[in-house]
A and B are shown apart, each in its own frame.
Chain A
Amino acid sequence: MYYCCMKNEEVERLFRENYRRMFLVAVFLLHDEAEGKDAVHDVFETVIRNGIELRGETASGYLLSSMRNRCLNRLRSMRIKEKVANEYVIFSNLESVTDEDASEEKIATLNAGISHLQPPVCKKIIEMHFRQGLKFREIAAKLGISETAVYKHLRQAMASLRSQLTDNEYGKD
């Protein structure tokens, strides 16, 4: 059903239509833009090289699933220290990751949750650590609080985000 050949224009159309979503999920899993771009690139290259024809409604799903698999496979191939050094372990058990776990919806829910975190210092810590790449001890020094206080706020933020994801999963507001 998938295996035949697509016209070049069709490949280009699928690329333009799906690139943003695929890249978003790839960066979510790999935590790196350049690797995310390579992952999407590789999926399309495989489609082209193997002459895989993607049709209609199934095309986007196929591309996104292939991309997730590639990212998870990349994570599986890493040693634990490499994963930890890069905060790559998205789930302790990669075998249990579903399409829903790495979906646009989940990424959007998390980001909405981050923007509403209370108290505001929780959001600040997340921005300083994940966006600016500061270590927890550096954050503590900048904010004039103890490292233990940073840990406490971070744990609180993580619990809040986890709770929002669970609520969202069960359809609550």
Chain B
Amino acid sequence: MEKTDMLLKMLDSPKDYSEAQWDEILSDKECQELYDDIARTCGAVKANYKPLTDKEIAHELQRLFQAGTEHLPQGHAKAEAEGATMAETYLEKPNGGKSKGNIFIKGWQRVAAIAAAVVVVSGFAYAAVSTHFFGIASKPAKPAKVEQSAKPRRAPKKIQKEEAVKVAEPKLFDNVVLSDILAELSDYYGVEVEYKDEDVKGLRLYFEWNPDEPLTGIISTLNNFESFSIKLEGKKIIVSKAKQL
């Protein structure tokens, strides 16, 4: 059997083959090319399958605005028909106030944004993972995430001392180098960090840290990155380069 036929056979029942078998077949250049072609074609077919309607887009916009409001103001459809924008309807209440937790609240977040402005995406690999997938907010489209996001969270001890407002918030590391993230985690969990490869220190990550989660869970989540490998040995986190696919 040709290698490419073998690849196609494996694609029919991918779970019947081990990771090592996948590694081996995809290390062949011809198979790799065919696989990329298939994945690309699959993406194009799915992307072209059903054009989005205006109604679906309006629904998604509503979901975005709802993510930051405690409850949805009534009567948007009517207001929109009268010419109001979604933002006017949901966010600019008659009293000028905004719902608690509104994503448009700008105060300290603006400070954080200015701080983020100095972070420049350079030649470093920019990788992302989150204990909630992409998530910053609850996602109605994914009930499992809603449940996870709704869970009360405890903030790092340092933050609790300094700013009570942020107590229940997880921390989002957006484009932050691995060494800074691990420095904060090691401080919080009381462990040391050892780098087997210095190169990985500069990897930039998008990672949401839930301080409620035990360190083993965080290590497991971080191991989803393929650019580096991380393990916990006693009271030490050991970080090394991961094998490239």
Tell me, yes or no, whether A binds B: yes
Give me the interface of A with B, judged by CB distance under 8 Å. 2-5, 7-9, 11-12, 15-16, 19-20, 23-25, 27-34, 37-42, 44-46, 48-52, 69-70, 73-74, 76-81, 84-85, 87-93, 95, 106-107, 110-111, 114, 126-127, 130-131, 135-137, 147-148, 150-151, 154-155, 157-159, 161-162
A90-B224 in contact given A9-B87, A50-B112 (Cβ < 8 Å):
no
Binds A, one of B134-142, B154-162, B180-188, B190-198: B134-142
Whether A31 and B46, one on each chain, are in contact in the complex, defined by CB atoms closer than 8 angstroms, is yes
Contact of A34 among B15, B42, B116, B142 (CB under 8 A): B142
CA distance A70 to B135 in the complex (A): 11
Per DSSP, chain B at the interface is helix
Kindly state the separation between the CA atoms of A110 and B106 in the bound complex, as whole angstroms: 43
Q: Which residues of B contact A154 (CB under 8 A)?
A: 8, 38
Q: Min CB distance, B147 to chain A, in Å?
A: 15
* Contact in complex: A155, B34 (CB < 8 Å): yes
Contact between chains at B106 and A51 (CB < 8 Å): yes
Given contacts A73-B127, A107-B48, A126-B45, contact A38 B117 (CB under 8 A): no
Given known A-B contacts A34-B141, A92-B26, A155-B4, A73 and B12 have beta carbons under 8 A apart:
no
Q: Which of A3, A8, A106 contacts B104 (CB 8 A)?
A: A8
* Contact yes or no, B87 A12, CB < 8 A: yes
Encoded as 1 (CB less than 8 Å from any A CB) or 0, chain B from 1 to 19 comes to 0001100111111110001
Which residue of the partner chain, among B42, B125, B134, contacts A74 with CB atoms under 8 Å? B134
Whether B41 contacts A37 by the Cβ 8 Å rule is no
B45 near A114: Cβ-Cβ < 8 Å: yes
Chain A neighbourhood of B128, CB < 8 A: 69-70, 73-74, 76-77
Whether the Cβ atoms of B64 and A44 lie closer than 8 Å is yes
Cβ contact within 8 Å between B12 and A45: no
A73 neighbours in B (Cβ, 8 Å): 126-129, 206
B32-48 interface mask toward A, CB cutoff 8 Å, 1 = contact, 0 = none? Answer: 11111111111111111
In the assembled complex, the Cα of A49 lies from the Cα of B105 at a distance in Å of 8
The verdict on B61 contacting chain A, using a C-beta distance below 8 Å, is yes
Please tell me if the beta carbons of B36 and A76 are within 8 angstroms of each other in the complex: no
Q: Please tell me if the beta carbons of A151 and B125 are within 8 angstroms of each other in the complex.
A: no
Bound complex: CA A111 to CA B136 (Å): 34
A8 and B5 alpha carbons, distance in the complex (Å): 53
Contact A158 B34, beta carbon cutoff 8 Å: yes
**Neighbouring B residues of A52 by C-beta, 8 Å:** 113
- A131 touching B64 in the complex, CB below 8 Å, given contacts A9-B87, A89-B36, A90-B39: no
- Decide if A19 touches B60 in the complex (CB within 8 Å): yes
Given pairs A38-B133, A49-B103, A50-B116, 18 additional interface contacts (CB within 8 A): A8-B92, A12-B86, A15-B60, A15-B64, A30-B43, A45-B64, A45-B67, A79-B224, A81-B22, A90-B36, A90-B40, A92-B245, A110-B44, A136-B8, A151-B5, A151-B9, A158-B34, A161-B41
Shortest Cβ-Cβ A-B pairs, 6 listed: A73-B128, A8-B87, A110-B44, A158-B37, A28-B43, A130-B45
Partner of A39, one of B85, B134, B136: B134
Taken together as a complex, chains A and B put the C-alpha atoms of A19 and B68 apart, in Å, by 19
Contacts of B142 in A (CB 8 A): 34, 38
Is residue B148 within 8 Å, beta carbon to beta carbon, of the partner chain? Answer: no
Q: Compute how far the CA of A50 lies from the CA of B35 in the bound complex, rounded to whole angstroms.
A: 38
Q: Which residue of B lies closest to A139 (CB)?
A: B12
- Interface-centre pick from A40, A87, A114 (highest chain B CB count, 10 A): A87
The answer to whether B113 touches A50, judged by C-beta atoms less than 8 angstroms apart, is: yes
A151 contact set on B, CB distance < 8 A = 4-5, 8-9
